[in-house]
Chain A
Amino acid sequence: MKYLFISLVFLGVGISLYPDYPYRIGFIPKHSAININPDFKVCNNKYVVDYYNRSGFDNNDIPAGYIGGPKAIKKLLAKQYPNLNLKNESGMLTIRFIINCKGEIGRFEILENDLNYQPKTFDPEVKEQLFNFTKDLKNWQANYLAGESRDCAMYLTYKLKNGKIIAILP
């Protein structure tokens, strides 16, 4: 009860001072995320960094990301799903999520844009296929910052043109 009370006070102060931005840009709160795995936990909800964060003075820092980069994801996708049916879709399907300090992923959210950066709605099957593929990716490097593994926000954008993946970002 004590912790709930303190959290609510902090939330109240935050919302009151910055009502348009209850969280830093990119943070994915649990209540609004797609929570696939109920066991997924962040190690420190108060300190979720971004995948690219480095302290700037520690050469041992390691930015987070998929081990092998987007290039490896593209290869894996082609190998695992040679007959992926992307239905002539074009646009940018962005899946945002958290990589926790153990290198596990969870708290997903999906953003959909066309190739002109405008909102769009993807075909549900296309969205589902790419989402399922992403959520099952295992080989993640957690952000290592100032001597500790951290939770961080990460994203993958599948850039599609006429049913073909032309790039995986970032």
Chain B
Amino acid sequence: MVKSSLYFLSILFLFLSCESKSPNFNAVADLSQSEKDSLIKMKYKVFFKTHQGTPKAMTLLDEIIELDSTNAEAWRERSIPYLKRGFPGQWYKNYQKCVAYDAKEWIGWRGYNYLFFYKDFKRAIADFDATDTLNEGFTDHPQAMSVDFLRGIAYYGLDSYDTALIYLQKYIDEEMNSSGGLAFIDQNAFLYKGRIHQKLNQHDSAFVAFNTGLQIFDQSCDLHYFKSKSFSAQGNLAMAKLEAKLAKQYFDLSYVHRRPYIEVLDQLYDYDLIELFQNLKLDY
């Protein structure tokens, strides 16, 4: 039985190894440009139905790149599973190619990745500055976030508070003037503004920022939590306790600042709230 199984397996492997990785894949050099274009289109169609990072998806991307080595989107797609799954070197290598072939489109996105996935604030800022130059007269929005907001966060990460405040305000002003008001602004821009003022012991300015954020979303655990901290720092324990209770109420409803994949700057966990309650002599 064992012998016959092994014999069958050898035949099977011989048969399979004679197959090319993609049976209909012609020699690239013999194809005209329009043939290459339609093949790429076809392969993308299949690719978008695959799951990210699967052998089939990655092989399709390799084939697209073989047809067009300057296809920035394919290089980018190839980089993303490495980004999300903890391969800094592989992500970087692939994304460098993407930016090399279409910097205008993708350099802002690279900055976004540097910022959130690698907390590589300096490189993120360099990319956000570069996208300003490449996209003159237009504020780039990688992953639907203004590069000014992103730059504000990156400078905050570097503890460059003055510059962070400039960019956070720039983002806020731009949204106020273009999109029709406060409701269109991410409340976390006010969260980080408030945090900066708080760290600089400018608690009155911090309150202005936190309260503006709360006008956008009054159930933000983070805004209430840090507001409580500022009240506490000012010795107003009654208000500190009130805000701490609101923070917990909204934490329990999961209204807390999070992003998928990564931990954000100043992310709050239950132990932060427990500590706050202990400091304020409150029962958690």
- From B9, B21, B62, B82, give the contact of A17 (CB < 8 A): B21
A70 to B266 alpha-carbon distance, docked (Å): 11
Measured CB to CB, the nearest residue on chain A to B78 is A25
Residues of A within 8 A of B (CB): 1, 5, 8-9, 12-26, 50, 52, 63, 68-72, 92, 94, 96, 111, 113, 115, 117-119, 153-157, 159, 166-167, 169-170
Question: B218 to nearest A CB, angstroms?
Answer: 22
Size class of the B contact interface (CB-based, 8 Å): 35 or more
Asked whether B85 is an interface residue with its Cβ less than 8 Å from the other chain, the reply is yes
Measured CB to CB, the nearest residue on chain B to A116 is B92
Which residues of A sit under 8 angstroms from B82, Cβ to Cβ? Answer: 25
Knowing that A25-B85, A25-B87 touch, tell me 20 more A-B residue pairs with CB under 8 angstroms: A1-B2, A5-B5, A20-B62, A21-B55, A23-B55, A24-B51, A24-B53, A26-B85, A50-B85, A69-B269, A96-B85, A96-B86, A111-B87, A117-B91, A117-B92, A118-B89, A155-B85, A167-B119, A170-B86, A170-B262
Question: Quick check: A117 and B117 within 8 Å, CB to CB?
Answer: no
Which residues of B sit under 8 angstroms from A119, Cβ to Cβ? Answer: 89
Question: B68 to nearest A CB, angstroms?
Answer: 18
**Secondary structure call for the B interface:** helix
Question: Quick check: A8 and B54 within 8 Å, CB to CB?
Answer: no
A169 to B263 alpha-carbon distance, docked (Å): 8
Question: Quick check: B54 and A24 within 8 Å, CB to CB?
Answer: yes
Which residues of A sit under 8 angstroms from B93, Cβ to Cβ? Answer: 117
Asked whether B181 is an interface residue with its Cβ less than 8 Å from the other chain, the reply is no
Stretch touching chain A among B12-20, B101-109, B244-252: B12-20
Which residues of A sit under 8 angstroms from B262, Cβ to Cβ? Answer: 169-170
Interface centre among B9, B17, B87, B270 (most CB of A within 10 A): B87
Measured CB to CB, the nearest residue on chain B to A96 is B86
Asked whether B138 is an interface residue with its Cβ less than 8 Å from the other chain, the reply is no
- From A5, A19, A20, A21, give the contact of B9 (CB < 8 A): A5
- The B35-49 residues at the A interface (CB cut-off 8 A) are none
- From B53, B120, B263, give the contact of A26 (CB < 8 A): B53
Question: Quick check: B86 and A155 within 8 Å, CB to CB?
Answer: yes
Which residues of A sit under 8 angstroms from B51, Cβ to Cβ? Answer: 24
Asked whether B172 is an interface residue with its Cβ less than 8 Å from the other chain, the reply is no
Which residues of A sit under 8 angstroms from B86, Cβ to Cβ? Answer: 26, 94, 96, 111, 154-157, 169-170
Question: Quick check: A13 and B16 within 8 Å, CB to CB?
Answer: yes
Which residues of A sit under 8 angstroms from B19, Cβ to Cβ? Answer: 16-17
Question: Quick check: A68 and B260 within 8 Å, CB to CB?
Answer: no
Which residues of A sit under 8 angstroms from B117, Cβ to Cβ? Answer: 169-170
